[in-house]
């Protein structure tokens, strides 16, 4: 009998559940808990080693345990980690972000992407005096964007609706229909596929026409598609932007920032967190930003991720019965596997061969993934796909 778990749902991070990783009722030989990570490698509780393509759900762009980040964190922890006054680092990192992304004129720090997105919507509502929000993509687990969750009050669910990604006409119609009730339009710059320029233009134009705040959720994409994320890569100029995950290489830090005239609304509503300004994550962010800039990490991720993406395309062409296509972009891509049973089988067989592979959106490369790591991952996938094809 398995030992009692005191954590409902197996783990506190939903995407790390065995069922999420490997499908329903995964066999006991698959990894369930980990004890260590380094570079692009993780070790499970039995001491087995895995090449990782999940990279903490995209939170790590430099590789696990990057020495410069680790050293900065050790100093910050020794300096006391937290205190009664805001640290000097808070202003320093805000200035650094504004330099890297000039459309971010003012900044507030928080701990998670979900929290920062909720703050962005709160700021938009304070700025506009309106309540309704249209979103596109995944923006976290908090009430404002969980329109299909019956645990969220009906009145809250009614204030949110999903925009169709890359559908210009329906997007225009939905924003115009919300009209003067619309506080914000929030999008991810990549939702399974890259954005069409016409769609981005329509979202920007229609948001401005409606007087709504245009928010770009860069939690996954900042420091990955470019230093300034999807906004830099695709020429988007939002009113507000949310950044998280890779900006502190896995340490808990996120931010909401944007135009000064919109961000001033943060002082007219209550957005605060005890640990928003602890030293450790801010120190991790400073070291991470140093490496991202010096090593030109986004360009590297496009190169090494391009090799992975090309391999995925080759597999999609060779296994049309298993794979419907390839999604995402080079630094964050995935196989569109044909069905749930196929995706579960691929993830399970990869794990048995020493590869942690995301069976949906997205697999992430990092600075720690070199050509050898990508070749190894592709070799494992090819072996798995050939095995599954023969088994049919």
- Distance between CA atoms of residues 91 and 101, nearest Å: 15
**pLDDT, position 2:** 57
CATH of domain 67-294: 3.40.640.10
**pLDDT, position 1:** 47
Q: Look at the block and give the residue holding tokens 């090494």.
A: 304
The model's pTM: 0.97
The contacts of residue 141 (CB under 8 Å, 6+ apart) are: 14, 114
Sort strands 49-52 and 213-218 into parallel, antiparallel or unpaired: unpaired
- Distance between CA atoms of residues 304 and 95, nearest Å: 30
Please report the sign of the dihedral spanned by the C-alpha atoms of residue 173, residue 178, residue 184, residue 186: negative
- Distance between CA atoms of residues 322 and 270, nearest Å: 50
Sort strands 332-337 and 363-364 into parallel, antiparallel or unpaired: antiparallel
- Distance between CA atoms of residues 72 and 335, nearest Å: 36
Determine the 3-state secondary structure of 177 from DSSP: helix
- Distance between CA atoms of residues 158 and 146, nearest Å: 10
- 130, 131, 206, 324 from 182: Cα distances, Å: 6, 6, 11, 37
- Compute how many other C-beta atoms are within 10 angstroms of the C-beta atom of residue 267: 11
- Distance between CA atoms of residues 62 and 68, nearest Å: 10
Going by C-alpha positions, the residue among 19, 16, 39 that lies closest to residue 27 is 19
Q: What is the 3-state secondary structure (H, E, C) of 91-108?
A: HHHHHHHHHHCCCCCEEE
Q: Are 365 and 375 in contact (CB under 8 A)?
A: no
Bridge partners of 49?
43
Sort strands 213-218 and 240-243 into parallel, antiparallel or unpaired: parallel
- The mean of the pLDDT values for the chain is 97
- 321, 389, 392 from 386: Cα distances, Å: 11, 5, 10
The contacts of residue 312 (CB under 8 Å, 6+ apart) are: 326, 333, 334, 335
Q: Are 365 and 372 in contact (CB under 8 A)?
A: no
Q: Which CATH number fits domain 14-60+296-391: 3.90.1150.10, 3.10.105.10, 3.30.930.10, 2.60.40.1180?
A: 3.90.1150.10
For the chain, 392 residues long, give each residue's pLDDT as a single digit of tens. Answer: 456 789 999 999 999 999 999 999 999 999 999 999 999 999 999 999 999 999 999 999 999 999 999 999 999 999 999 999 999 999 999 999 999 999 999 999 999 999 999 999 999 999 999 999 999 999 999 999 999 999 999 999 999 999 999 999 999 999 999 999 999 999 999 999 999 999 999 999 999 999 999 999 999 999 999 999 999 999 999 999 999 999 999 999 999 999 999 999 999 999 999 999 999 999 999 999 999 999 999 999 999 999 999 999 999 999 999 999 999 999 999 999 999 999 999 999 999 999 999 999 999 999 999 999 999 999 999 999 999 999 98
Q: pLDDT digits over 184-242, tens only? A: 999 999 999 999 999 999 999 999 999 999 999 999 999 999 999 999 999 999 999 99
Domain ranges of the chain: 14-60+296-391, 67-294
357 dihedral zone (left: phi>0; alpha: psi -120 to 50; beta):
beta
Determine the 3-state secondary structure of 345 from DSSP: helix
- Distance between CA atoms of residues 154 and 304, nearest Å: 45
**pLDDT, position 392:** 82
């Amino acid at each position: 009998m398995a030992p009692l778990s005191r954590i409902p749902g197996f783990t506190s991070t939903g995407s790390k559940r065995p069922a999420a990783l490997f499908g329903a009722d995964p066999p006991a030989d698959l990894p369930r808990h980990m004890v260590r990570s380094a570079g692009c490698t993780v070790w499970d509780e039995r001491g087995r080693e895995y090449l990782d393509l999940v990279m903490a759900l995209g939170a790590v762009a430099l590789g696990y345990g990057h020495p410069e980040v680790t050293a900065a964190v050790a100093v910050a922890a020794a300096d006391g980690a937290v205190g009664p006054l805001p640290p000097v680092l808070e202003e320093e990192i805000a200035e650094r972000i504004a330099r890297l992304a000039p459309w971010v004129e003012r900044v507030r720090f928080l701990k998670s992407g979900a929290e920062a997105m909720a703050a962005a919507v709160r700021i938009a509502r304070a700025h506009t005096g309106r309540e309704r929000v249209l979103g596109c993509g995944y923006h976290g687990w908090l009430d404002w964007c969980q329109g299909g969750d019956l645990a969220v009050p009906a009145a809250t669910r009614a204030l949110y609706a999903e925009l169709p990604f890359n559908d210009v006409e329906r997007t225009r119609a939905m924003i115009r229909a919300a009209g003067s009730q619309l506080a914000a339009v929030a999008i991810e710059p990549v939702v399974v596929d890259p954005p069409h320029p016409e769609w981005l233009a329509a979202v920007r134009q229609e948001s401005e026409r409606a007087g709504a705040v245009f928010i770009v959720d860069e939690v996954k994409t900042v420091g990955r598609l470019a230093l300034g994320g999807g906004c830099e890569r695709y020429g988007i100029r939002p009113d507000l932007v949310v950044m998280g995950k890779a900006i502190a290489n896995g340490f808990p830090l996120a931010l909401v920032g944007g135009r000064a005239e919109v961000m001033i609304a943060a002082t007219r509503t209550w957005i605060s967190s005890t640990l928003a300004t602890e030293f450790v994550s801010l120190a991790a962010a400073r070291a991470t930003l140093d490496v991202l800039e010096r090593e030109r990490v986004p360009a590297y991720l496009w190169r090494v991720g391009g090799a992975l993406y090309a391999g995925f395309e080759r597999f999609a062409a060779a296994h049309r019965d298993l794979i419907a296509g390839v999604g995402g972009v080079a630094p964050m891509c995935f196989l569109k596997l044909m069905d749930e049973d196929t995706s579960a089988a691929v993830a399970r067989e990869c794990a048995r061969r020493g590869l942690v592979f995301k069976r949906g959106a997205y697999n992430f490369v990092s600075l720690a993934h070199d050509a050898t790591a990508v070749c190894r991952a592709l070799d494992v996938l090819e072996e798995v796909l050939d095995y599954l094809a023969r088994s049919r």
